[in-house]
C-alpha cells in the first residue's frame, strides 16, 4: 500500500530504491573490575584506540576534502581531548576496562554538553559517533557505519555522523533519510555538497522496514513508501524535466526579463574551488575561513599559511567577486586558544566578531594576510564580519580593516535580528550586507539549528524571517548598497526567486545547488518574483508561505 510521509527536504533530486539501515550502534560494554596490575596495559589500549580513531577520521577528511575535511578534523580533535583522555585514565586506574572507561567518560562529557544548552546538541551527536568508533575498536567488532551492499539503496538512519556522510558513494547511496537533524545540520550541508537527495527530521524514519521500496524527493521533503508504477513514473518524469532544465541554463544568474542576480558559491577553502567553477559560480559569496583555523585548535595559523590559502582561492576567480568572512569562532566552533570553555550558553556569548575584538591580534593578522594575498590580483575582494549586532560593531570592524591597510569593501553579516532591524544604521559604517539565514533563523525563533525537534522554526520560509530579509534589503537599496544572502536559504530554487523579489542582490550557496537555482530563476520575471515574495510574507506559516509563492509562480 502506497503511503506518503513528510520530513524536511535538504538536498535536491529524486531517489527510488530499497531501504538499508545504518549499522547498529555499539552495545554498552559490560562493567567489570580489572586487577590493579592490568591498569597500565588497559590505559595503553585506550590511548592506542583513541589515536587510531583520530587518525582514521583525519584520513577520511583528507579523502573527502572541503567542508567535510574540516568537520572530520574537528571530530578527530574531539577524540583526543586531553580532559576526556585524563578521565578515561582515572576510571581505568580504579578498576574499569578500557572500553568501559571510554564509554563512561564520554557519557559524563555528553551529559555536560547536554546540560550546557541545546545549542551543543549537534556536537553531542558527533561525540556519540567518536565514542562508538573507539569502543568498537577496543571490542574488536565492526565499526558502526554505512551498510555493505552491491546494489544501490536508500540509506535510512536515526542520524548520520559527518564521518559517514562525507564518504558516501553516490553510485551506491541513491539518497538518505534521517529521523533527526535539521536543514542546516552537518549531514544536510554535506549531502548538498555531494549532490545526494536527502530528507531529514522524518518522524519514524527508523521504523521503515529493511528492503522496503521508497521514493525520496529531496526538494519537497516527501517520502513515498511502496510507490506504485504511476507515482514512480511521475517522479522520474519530474526528475528528467529538472535535469533538462539544468542542462539548458548556463551563464550568469538572471530572471527571464534580464534582472541580474549574481550566483556565488559558499566554500570552506581551496578544495571547494573546482566544484564551484564547474557549477558556473560567478564568484564566492562566503569563504568560511574558520576551517583554516580548525586545523589546529591550540593556536592560530601563521600569517604566511593564511596568505598562501587565501591566494589559492583569490587566483581562481580573476575579475570575480570573493567575499571572505573573517574567523567565526565560538559556539559550535570552539577554539582552545580563543573561546572560553565555561560559558553557560555559548550561542549567546562571546562568538564571531566579539571574539575577534577581544583578541585583536588574531583579527589584525588575518586582515593583513588577506591584504597581502590580494595584492596585485585582478579580483574584487570583499571582507565581512560575522555576528554584527549594531553600528558600534560595524564601526569597530571597519576601523580594524582600515588599520590593516586592507583595500577591499568591508561588510557585515546580518545574523542577529537587531542588525536587520537597524540595517540602515549598520550601513553607515560598512559597504554591504550579507544575510546568514541559518543563524538569523536560529536567533529569531530561539531554535537551535542542530535540533530536529525544532526544525519547523528553522525553515527559511518562515514569514517572520522573510520580513527581516525584506527590511535589510530595503535598507541596503535606500543606501545604494548591496545585500546578498549566503545562508542555506539561497539553495532552495523557489525560495531564491522569493529572495530576489524581496530585493536581495546576490545569492550564495553550495556549488551543487547553483544549477538548480540558475535554471529556476531564468523561468520567471522580476515582477513574478516580487509577487511571490509578497504572497509568502502575507502567509502565517512556512508551509503556507511556500504554497502561496508556488501558486504565484505557477500562475494559479
401 is catalytic: no
497 and 553 in contact (C-beta within 8 Å)?
yes
User: Do residues 119 and 347 touch, judged by C-beta distance below 8 A?
Assistant: yes
DSSP result, 3-55: EEEE-EEEE-SEEEEEEEEPPPPPPPPP-----GGGHHHHHHHHHHHHHHHHH
Residue listed under C-alpha cell 576551517: 291
Give the pLDDT confidence score for residue 399 in this predicted structure.
Answer: 98
Q: What are phi and psi of 154, to 5 degrees?
A: -105, 120
Element (H, E) at 266: strand 263-267
Q: What are phi and psi of 530, to 5 degrees?
A: -65, -40
What are the DSSP E strand ranges found in 350-477?
380-385, 409-414, 432-435
Q: What distance in Å separates the CA atoms of residue 131 and residue 317, rounded to the nearest whole number?
A: 41
497 is catalytic: no
Query: Where are the extended beta strands (E) located within 402-468?
Result: 409-414, 432-435
The rounded Cα 281 to chain-centroid distance in angstroms is: 19
Q: List the one residue out of 438, 288, 435 whose CA is nearest residue 366.
A: 288
- The closest alpha carbon to 268, from 280, 260, 276, belongs to 276
The SS3 assignment for 99 reads helix
Per-residue pLDDT of the chain (556 residues; tens, 9 = 90+): 789 999 988 888 899 999 999 876 656 898 889 999 999 999 999 999 999 999 988 887 777 776 677 778 878 888 888 889 999 999 999 999 999 999 999 988 877 665 544 434 456 667 888 898 899 889 887 766 778 788 999 999 888 877 777 767 888 999 999 998 777 666 677 777 777 899 998 999 999 999 999 999 998 899 999 999 999 999 988 888 777 777 777 889 999 999 999 999 999 899 889 989 999 999 999 999 988 887 665 688 999 999 999 999 999 999 899 999 999 987 656 677 777 766 777 778 888 999 999 999 999 999 999 999 999 999 999 999 999 999 999 999 999 999 999 999 999 999 999 999 999 999 999 999 999 998 999 999 998 765 656 778 888 999 999 999 999 999 999 999 999 999 879 988 999 999 999 999 999 998 888 998 999 999 999 999 999 999 999 999 998 999 999 999 988 7
Catalytic residue among 12, 186, 497, 529: 186
Among 204, 207, 205, 211, smallest CA distance to 226 is for 211
Select which of 12, 359, 401, 486 is catalytic: 486
d(C-alpha 426, C-alpha 394), whole Å: 6
- Say if CB 381 and CB 370 are below 8 A apart: yes
Q: DSSP string spanning 313-324?
A: HHTTSTTSEEEE
Amino acid at each position: 500500500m502506497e503511503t506518503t510521509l513528510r520530513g524536511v527536504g535538504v538536498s535536491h533530486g529524486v531517489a527510488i530504491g530499497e531501504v538499508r539501515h545504518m549499522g547498529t550502534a555499539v552495545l554498552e560494554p559490560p562493567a567489570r573490575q580489572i586487577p590493579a596490575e592490568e591498569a597500565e596495559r588497559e590505559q595503553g589500549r585506550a590511548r592506542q584506540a583513541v589515536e587510531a580513531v583520530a587518525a582514521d577520521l583525519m584520513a577520511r577528511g583528507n579523502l573527502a576534502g572541503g567542508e567535510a575535511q574540516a568537520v572530520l578534523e574537528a571530530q578527530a580533535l574531539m577524540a583526543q581531548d586531553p580532559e576526556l583522555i585524563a578521565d578515561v585514565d582515572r576510571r581505568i586506574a580504579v578498576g574499569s576496562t578500557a572500553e568501559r572507561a571510554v564509554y563512561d567518560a564520554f557519557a559524563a562529557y555528553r551529559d555536560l554538553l547536554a546540560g550546557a544548552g541545546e545549542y551543543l546538541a549537534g556536537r553531542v551527536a558527533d561525540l556519540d559517533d567518536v565514542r562508538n568508533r573507539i569502543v568498537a575498536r577496543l571490542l574488536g567488532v565492526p565499526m558502526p557505519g554505512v551498510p555493505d551492499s552491491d546494489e544501490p539503496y536508500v540509506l535510512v538512519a536515526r542520524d548520520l555522523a559527518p564521518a559517514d556522510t562525507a564518504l558516501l558513494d553516490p553510485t551506491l547511496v541513491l539518497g538518505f533519510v534521517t529521523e533527526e537533524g535539521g536543514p542546516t545540520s552537518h549531514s544536510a550541508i554535506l549531502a548538498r555538497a555531494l549532490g545526494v537527495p536527502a530528507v531529514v527530521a522524518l518522524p519514524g524514519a527508523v521504523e521503515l522496514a529493511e528492503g522496503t521500496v521508497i521514493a525520496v524527493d529531496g526538494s519537497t521533503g516527501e517520502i513515498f513508501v511502496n510507490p506504485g508504477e504511476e507515482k514512480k513514473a511521475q517522479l522520474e518524469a519530474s526528475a528528467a524535466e529538472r535535469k533538462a532544465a539544468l542542462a539548458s541554463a548556463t551563464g550568469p544568474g538572471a530572471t527571464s526579463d534580464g534582472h541580474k542576480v549574481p550566483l556565488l558559491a559558499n566554500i570552506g577553502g581551496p578544495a571547494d574551488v573546482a566544484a564551484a567553477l564547474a557549477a558556473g559560480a560567478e564568484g564566492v559569496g562566503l569563504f568560511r575561513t574558520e576551517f583554516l583555523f580548525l586545523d589546529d585548535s591550540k593556536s592560530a595559523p601563521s600569517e604566511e599559511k593564511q596568505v598562501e590559502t587565501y591566494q589559492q582561492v583569490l587566483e581562481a576567480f580573476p575579475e570575480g567577486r570573493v567575499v571572505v568572512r573573517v574567523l567565526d569562532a565560538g559556539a559550535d566552533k570552539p577554539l582552545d586558544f580563543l573561546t572560553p570553555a565555561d560559558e553557560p550558553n555559548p550561542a549567546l556569548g562571546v562568538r564571531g566578531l566579539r571574539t575577534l575584538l577581544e583578541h585583536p591580534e588574531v583579527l589584525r593578522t588575518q586582515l593583513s594576510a588577506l591584504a597581502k594575498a590580494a595584492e596585485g590580483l585582478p579580483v574584487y575582494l570583499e571582507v565581512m564580519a560575522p555576528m554584527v549586532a549594531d553600528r558600534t560593531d560595524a564601526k569597530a570592524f571597519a576601523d580594524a580593516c582600515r588599520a590593516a591597510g586592507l583595500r577591499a569593501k568591508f561588510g557585515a553579516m546580518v545574523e542577529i535580528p537587531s542588525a536587520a532591524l537597524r540595517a540602515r544604521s549598520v550601513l553607515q559604517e560598512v559597504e554591504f550586507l550579507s544575510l546568514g539565514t541559518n543563524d538569523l533563523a536560529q536567533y529569531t525563533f530561539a531554535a537551535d539549528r542542530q535540533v530536529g525537534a525544532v526544525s519547523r522554526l528553522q525553515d527559511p520560509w518562515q514569514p517572520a524571517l522573510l520580513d527581516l530579509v525584506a527590511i535589510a534589503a530595503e535598507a541596503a537599496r535606500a543606501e545604494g548598497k548591496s545585500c546578498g544572502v549566503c545562508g542555506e536559504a539561497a539553495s532552495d530554487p523557489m525560495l531564491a526567486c522569493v529572495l530576489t523579489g524581496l530585493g536581495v542582490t546576490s545569492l550564495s550557496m553550495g556549488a551543487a545547488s547553483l544549477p538548480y537555482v540558475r535554471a529556476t530563476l531564468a523561468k520567471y520575471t522580476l515582477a513574478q518574483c516580487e509577487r511571490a515574495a509578497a504572497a509568502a510574507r502575507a502567509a502565517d506559516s512556512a508551509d503556507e508561505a511556500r504554497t502561496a509563492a508556488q501558486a504565484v509562480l505557477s500562475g494559479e
